[in-house]
A and B are shown apart, each in its own frame.
Chain A
Amino acid sequence: MIEILFFFFAALAVGAAINVLVQKHVLYSALSLIVLLSSMSGLFILLRADFLAVIQVIVYAGAIMVLFVFVIMLLNLPEDEDGADRLRWLKFLGIPLGLFFLFLTVITLWNVERQDIVEAQMAGTPELIGRSLFTDYLLPFEATSLLILIALMGAVVFAKKDL
């Protein structure tokens, strides 16, 4: 049963990811991204990481993507824009970056021990995640929140020229 669900969500995720790239209209790309994020959350549930799955939907699919869709609608971008010309060099940067990411993934998966998987499945509850965030990972956690605060203030400064 779990295998069937895994392949269903995995196929959905890969299909949606490809769709994000090939769609001409930005809104369809954004919608495919939502499908991708939701199916990832399904995969997280299969890995017993309920908390992560739910947070994935709340934060990405429910909040950030709504803002994306909102902006796309607000600008009402025309279909099939050729404005990607000035970003042409990014294509060539994309290939080595993609390969590098693939390499990282393979290395990480290569080094995973069976014991790690069993331990990781125990760590999906909100209590344990909260505890480790506020003990072992306190510094990265606080640093991230500071970064987000800086980004927020930066956005306000950009948006409002005269404060």
Chain B
Amino acid sequence: MIEYLISPEFLLMMAKIVGIFGGVMGSLAYLTWLERKVMARVQMRPGPTRVGPFGLLQPIADGLKFLFKEDIIPTQANKFLFILAPIVALIPALLSFSVIPFGPRLQVADLSVGLLFIFAITSLGVYGIVLGGWASNSKYPLMGAMRSSAQMISYELSLTLSVVGVLMIANTLSLGELVTAQQGTWFGFIPRWNIFLQPVAFVIYVVSAIAETNRLPFDLAESEQELVGGWHTEYSSMKFAMFMLAEYANMLTVSALATILFLGGWTGPAFGPDWLRMVLPTIWFVGKISVFIFFYVLLRSTLPRFRYDQLMKFSWKVLLPLALANILITSLIVAIS
């Protein structure tokens, strides 16, 4: 046992876990800064400028503020579930990073069913929202929680079905192998990314992913104008911060998955000295994720919200049949070739 604890494999694994966890938590904090800054610029405002240069220390100030705020639990709330809900929301959101390959060797565990693992883990995240809304024992949170559970179940279907085409082409469920299958180019200049083979699936995936993470234009669960704050109306202090972190972590996860499935993951030109070759894949990966994050923020600052019936109709009557048709056509082509 002790020998295992000081063995190089174990220490390397711990270093990876600590590095990835730290990196993810840090980028989650700066995602809030990025979101506020980009949204402000879209709306012709300067955004945060006071704390540090360009407001760069704003996330730290926000974090401290969350810590020192009074932690309120409503008297009529179900105390046990009220405390449990943010934990249930945050832990699955962070767990999914354990199978994401940030680079050729920068991955905590390459499971043979890695993709399904992420779907399983993220499907548990909905309980955080549902329990939080129910335990608050208040009308707005309950409405928000019910909307969100219906929405997440509906869009989970199209999200899962949209990746089936990619899986049939790559013939694997491991995220590491999915990336390596997309290395190289066609005709010397088009990268072998799945987005060129599965454009329809890509669009379905991106739309469903936005809905899964409860972001505008699909943020019916917390639509401020009707439901005050939706499922987290009654939450304050660190518990609210945990819900926020979970939402941003889910955003990062779906963006990372989109990159891995459709944009070739960490693949990209590697050049220069050895140390640069080591670092470049991770830089490509982070860069591709940033494109998705930027797109998310742009969407949030420009689009109005869907109406609830439109949202459900769009999922069941447009995305789901489209995803099924995509699977059918892809499987036909795979079977013939």
Residue among B123, B133, B150, B156 making CB contact with A57, cutoff 8 Å: B123
Q: Is B126 an interface residue (CB 8 A)?
A: yes
Chain A neighbourhood of B124, CB < 8 A? 38, 57, 61-62
B 121-162 to A, binary, CB cutoff 8 A, 1 in contact else 0: 101101100110110000000100110011011001000000
- The interface residues of chain B lying within 8 Å CB-to-CB of A54 are 113, 116-117, 119-120
A51 and B116 contact, Cβ closer than 8 Å, known pairs A57-B123, A70-B130: yes
CB distance from A148 to the nearest CB of B (A): 14
Q: How far is the CB of B335 from chain A (nearest CB, A)?
A: 13
Nearest residue (CB) in B for A65 is: B127
How close is A87's CB to chain B, nearest CB, in angstroms?
A: 26
- Bound together, the chains give a CA A69 to CA B119 distance in angstroms of 19
Instruction: Give the residues in chain A near B150, CB-CB below 8 Å.
Output: 70
Q: How far is the CB of A40 from chain B (nearest CB, A)?
A: 13
Q: Which B residues are in CB contact (< 8 Å) with A55?
A: 116
B206 in the interface (beta carbon within 8 A) = no
Shortest beta-carbon distance from B45 to chain A in Å: 39
Known contacts: A27-B134, A66-B153, A126-B113. The answer to whether A73 contacts B145 by CB under 8 A is yes
In contact, B123 and A61 (Cβ under 8 angstroms)? yes
- Kindly identify which residue among B113, B119, B121, B142 contacts A73, using a CB–CB cutoff of 8 Å: B142
A73–B138 alpha-carbon span in the complex (Å): 12
The verdict on A63 contacting chain B, using a C-beta distance below 8 Å, is: yes
Chain A residues numbered 121-138 whose CB sits less than 8 Å from any CB in chain B: 125-126
Q: B111: CB under 8 A from chain A? A: yes
Say yes or no: is B49 at the interface (Cβ < 8 Å to chain A).
no
Cα separation A51 to B130 with both chains bound (whole Å)? 27
Bound Cα distance from A38 to B123, whole angstroms: 12
For the side of the interface on A, what is the size category?
20 to 34
Within 62-77 of A, Cβ neighbours of B (below 8 Å) are at 62-63, 66-67, 69-70, 73-74
Given A58-B120, A66-B130, A73-B130, A50 and B149 touching (CB < 8 A)? no
Size category of the binding interface on chain B: 20 to 34
What CA separation (Å) do A73 and B123 show in the bound complex?
A: 18
Across the interface, do B149 and A66 meet the contact criterion of CB distance under 8 Å?
yes
Please, how many angstroms separate the alpha-carbon atoms of A22 and B115 in the complex? 36
CB nearest neighbor in B for A57: B120
Q: Does B322 contact A (CB under 8 A)?
A: no
B173 in the interface (beta carbon within 8 A): yes
**B149 and A126 contacting across the interface, CB-CB below 8 Å:** no
Q: Give the residues in chain B near A66, CB-CB below 8 Å.
A: 123, 126-127, 130, 149, 152-153
Residues on A with C-beta less than 8 A from B302 are none
Q: Does residue B183 face the partner (Cβ distance < 8 Å to A)?
A: no
Does A63 lie within 8 Å of B153, measured CB to CB?
yes
Chain A residues with CB under 8 Å of B120's CB are 54, 57-58, 61-62
Q: Looking at the assembled complex, report how far the CB atom of B334 sits from the nearest CB atom of chain A, in whole angstroms.
A: 14
Bound-state Cα–Cα, A58 to B113, Å: 12
Contact with A along B47-66 (1 / 0, CB 8 A): 00000000000000000000
Q: A50-B111, A55-B116, A58-B116 are in contact. Are A70 and B146 (CB under 8 A)?
A: yes
Known: A27-B134, A66-B126, A125-B112. A73 touches B153 (CB 8 A): no
Interface assignment of A16: CB less than 8 Å from any CB of chain B: no
Interface string of B151-191 (1 = CB under 8 A from A): 01100100000000000000001000000000000000000
- Report the bound CA distance from A57 to B117 in whole Å: 9
B89 CB, min distance to chain A CBs, angstroms: 14
A69 touches B116 (CB 8 A): no
User: Using an 8 Å CB-CB cutoff, how does the interface string of A134-162 with B read, 1 for contact, 0 for none?
Assistant: 00000000000000000000000000000
Q: Closest 5 A-B residue pairs measured CB to CB? A: A62-B123, A57-B120, A54-B116, A58-B120, A70-B149
12 A-B Cβ contacts within 8 A? A34-B127, A38-B124, A54-B113, A62-B123, A62-B126, A66-B123, A66-B149, A67-B153, A69-B130, A69-B134, A70-B150, A73-B130
Given known contacts A61-B120, A69-B134, what 14 new A-B pairs fall within 8 Å (CB)?
A31-B131, A38-B124, A57-B120, A57-B121, A57-B123, A57-B124, A58-B123, A62-B123, A62-B156, A69-B127, A69-B149, A73-B130, A73-B145, A126-B173
